[in-house]
């Protein structure tokens, strides 16, 4: 019997034919909505390509992943917290690293934006106010990268191109290219006062949920800026609102939030020293094609009995 692959995605039909052309000996089935349960169970997939999206709730994904026929799940994205817990013995891979360079560009854009003072000038423009403000070059700034994985490393490389001082935090203290000094996660409180920019690039786990809260904001410079393109749950949003309102920190850029879409009554919307984007830091043109190509490369490895790329450690959660 041919390998059976289920693609959970509301736009799966847009690319399923190309996958069938590349793998004529594999049976593919699309799950484009939340009402496909009976067909999925009859199909009994061995492999699941899971795309997170509002039309198909995470609970639906989890119910299919729990089917006894499933051996391998590939997540179209880096985070897997919405699919936990996985059945014991299941192989899980993700798409971590595929858009790292592009996400790093959004982080650099945020640092440049705050360094030059674009939010201030936009506010002045709305008030038709002509006022010239001095600014400090990034070459005189320090960035603290919390989580020096594929994205954090890409941020470090770009930051070094601007001659920034780069500090990194990671579980391992192994030297990383373009990072001037590495610290352990437990040292974060000691390092925060040195940073002009604090960039978050860690997965959402039990350890990192609300990792950034009131105490962390109190330890940052009053001139510092927080940048979060990782997961909204890593930051205590109530504490961030307080820190921004009371000028404990100078500003923040958020691309991710504890609840998405961000509720219209959220206090975050009205903060003048906060810039918001709607979880798009990885939405570079043709990003879907990059995820599809990576999955198909792993599918080839699966068929050849080779080790899969980006295997997730389910105990660590990433």
300 C-beta neighbours (distance < 10 Å), count: 12
The catalytic residue among 13, 22, 207, 260 is 260
Cα gap 92→83, rounded to integer Å: 11
User: Would residue 194 show up in a list of annotated catalytic residues for this protein?
Assistant: no
The catalytic residue among 231, 237, 248, 258 is 231
Question: Treating both helix axes as pointing N-terminal to C-terminal, what angle do 13-22 and 287-303 enclose, rounded to 10 degrees?
Answer: 40
Q: Which residues pair with 212 in a beta bridge?
A: 235
The catalytic residue among 82, 209, 210, 279 is 279
Question: Collapsing DSSP states into helix, strand and coil, what is residue 273?
Answer: coil
Cα gap 202→169, rounded to integer Å: 10
Give how far Cα 21 sits from Cα of 15, 17, 18, 24, 294, Å: 10, 6, 5, 6, 16
Let me know if 176 is exposed, middle or buried by CB neighbors in 10 A (0-12, 13-18, 19+). buried
- Give catalytic residues, as residue numbers: 231, 260, 279
């Amino acid at each position: 019997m041919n390998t059976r692959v289920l693609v959970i995605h509301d736009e799966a039909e847009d690319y399923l034919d190309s996958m069938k052309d590349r793998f004529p000996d594999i049976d593919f089935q699309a799950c484009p909505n939340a009402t496909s349960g009976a067909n999925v169970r009859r199909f009994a997939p061995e492999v699941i390509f899971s795309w997170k999206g509002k039309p198909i709730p995470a609970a639906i994904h989890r119910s299919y992943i729990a089917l006894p026929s499933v051996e391998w799940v590939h997540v179209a994205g880096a985070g897997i917290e919405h699919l936990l817990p996985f059945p014991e013995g299941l192989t899980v891979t993700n798409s971590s690293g595929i858009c790292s360079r592009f996400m790093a560009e959004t982080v650099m854009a945020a640092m440049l934006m705050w360094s030059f003072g674009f939010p201030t000038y936009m506010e002045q423009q709305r008030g038709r106010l002509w006022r010239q403000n001095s600014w400090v070059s990034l070459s005189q700034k320090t960035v603290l990268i919390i989580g020096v994985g594929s994205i954090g490393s890409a941020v470090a490389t770009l930051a070094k191109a601007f001659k920034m001082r780069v500090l990194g935090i990671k579980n391992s203290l192994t030297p990383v290219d373009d990072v001037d000094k590495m610290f352990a996660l437990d040292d974060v409180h000691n390092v925060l006062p040195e940073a002009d920019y604090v960039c978050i690039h860690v997965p959402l786990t039990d350890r990192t949920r609300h990792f950034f809260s009131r105490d962390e904001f109190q330890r940052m410079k009053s001139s510092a800026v927080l940048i979060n393109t990782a997961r909204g749950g890593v930051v205590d949003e109530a504490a961030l609102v307080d820190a921004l309102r009371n000028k404990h920190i100078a500003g923040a850029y958020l691309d991710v939030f504890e609840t998405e879409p961000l509720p219209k009554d959220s206090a975050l919307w009205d903060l003048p020293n906060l810039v918001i984007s709607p979880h798009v830091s990885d939405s570079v043109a043709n990003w879907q094609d990059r995820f599809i190509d990576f999955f198909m490369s792993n599918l080839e490895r699966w068929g050849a009995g080779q080790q899969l790329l980006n295997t997730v450690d389910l105990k660590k959660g990433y």
